[in-house]
Amino acid sequence: MIGLAAAFAMASACAAPPALPSPHYRITLVADGVQQVIETETASTVQGLLTEAGIELGELDRVQPPEVAALADMMTVRVTRVEVQTHVLTQTVPFGRQVVRDAAVPEGENRLLQVGQAGLLERYYRVTIEDHVERERVLAREVLVQSPQPEIRLIGARPQPENVVITGTLAYLANQDAWVIRESSFQRRRTTALGDLDGRVFSLSPDAQVLLFSRTVTESEHINELWLVRTTEASPNPVPLNVRDVLWADWLPVRQPAGRSIAWTTAEVADPAPGWRGLNDLWVATVTDRSTLTARRQVLHLQQLGLEPDRFMVARR
């Protein structure tokens, strides 16, 4: 009896211990908008649970508790999907307004010099979205696509001129053209639109109806050319007199029966300064009503008298 008991004891001691039962977890999993209860006996960590449930995590996704955490019965595991997007917002940039006082504009006038134009600005935002809900928006950078163009207005700074009563007729040169004023300083008009009057000859006839003037010429072998224009015409038409290289010209004070008379002296082109040499002559002619020259004649040539050139001066009235 003793031997049998001892043998049974030894057999019991050599037998393997019974296996422990696997842990059984009941986990609540919340992911992708779905809440489910999962019972597992194989997973021991959060990562194992997600693998068993077929949940794949993106690079930015978050899990609570962390993936390495051990499972515990009745635990809740929450997966938050995280996405980062770039949003571009285009905005207009308002244009500014500038006011410039301009002495060329009459006082009291307001003129638009440049139309204003709005600019374009692109704003790039870094937007964080969690489970399809925007959680954060951060401005990353700005790009000015189009600069605004300011509106520019000119405000007149030139005082309004006062009206001045004129007795008779006044002719003057402005920007190499002839202007005539009669009766009032407000009654002025341009009688030539040539832009090349040289100012050497510029004289009104005694009755102020005809203006005698000289124009520059493009030919290098000539100095200028003599012209006239009638100041009483509504649309003045300047007329050439076919007289060139004039140093001086003027009206004779007495009107002849055939018309108005003029006198002039001439020169020739020369290399030394001032670029011409006087011929010391004197010519007269009559201007007809058709603006042509008649009775043209030379009345004086000082070289015939043995005098040196350039020493003769014509007295002007």
pLDDT at site 238: 96
pLDDT at site 158: 84
| Exposure on the CB side of residue 38, measured as CA atoms within 13 A | 27
pLDDT at site 117: 96
pLDDT at site 16: 55
Q: Please write the tens of the pLDDT for every residue from 95-148.
A: 999 999 998 888 888 999 999 999 999 999 999 999 999 999 999 999 999 999
Listed range (37-51, 150-164, 235-249) with the worst mean pLDDT: 150-164
d(C-alpha 81, C-alpha 40), whole Å: 24
pLDDT at site 151: 96
Tokens of 157: 């700074």
C-beta separation of 292 from 240 below 8 A: no
Closest CA to 124 of 140, 113, 136, 137: 140
C-beta separation of 170 from 154 below 8 A: no
Listed range (214-223, 246-255, 306-315) with the worst mean pLDDT: 306-315
Q: With pLDDT > 70 as the criterion, what percentage of the chain qualifies?
A: 87
CATH domain 84-158 topology: Resuscitation-promoting factor rpfb fold (2.20.230)
Closest CA to 203 of 260, 158, 245, 258: 260
What architecture does CATH give domain 24-80? Roll (3.10)
Distances (CA, A) of 296 to 185, 205, 219, 241, 289: 37, 18, 24, 11, 15
Closest CA to 52 of 72, 32, 75, 27: 27
Q: Please write the tens of the pLDDT for every residue from 148-189.
A: 999 999 999 888 778 888 888 999 999 999 999 988 888 888
On the 0-12 / 13-18 / 19+ scale of CB atoms within 10 A, 66 is exposed
C-beta separation of 157 from 135 below 8 A: no
Q: Is pLDDT of 316 > 50? A: no
For the chain, domain boundaries: 24-80, 84-158, 165-305
**pTM given for the model:** 0.49
Q: What's the CATH number of domain 165-305, 1.20.1420.20, 2.120.10.30, 3.30.1370.30, 2.60.120.330? A: 2.120.10.30
Distances (CA, A) of 74 to 39, 70, 79, 105: 10, 12, 16, 88
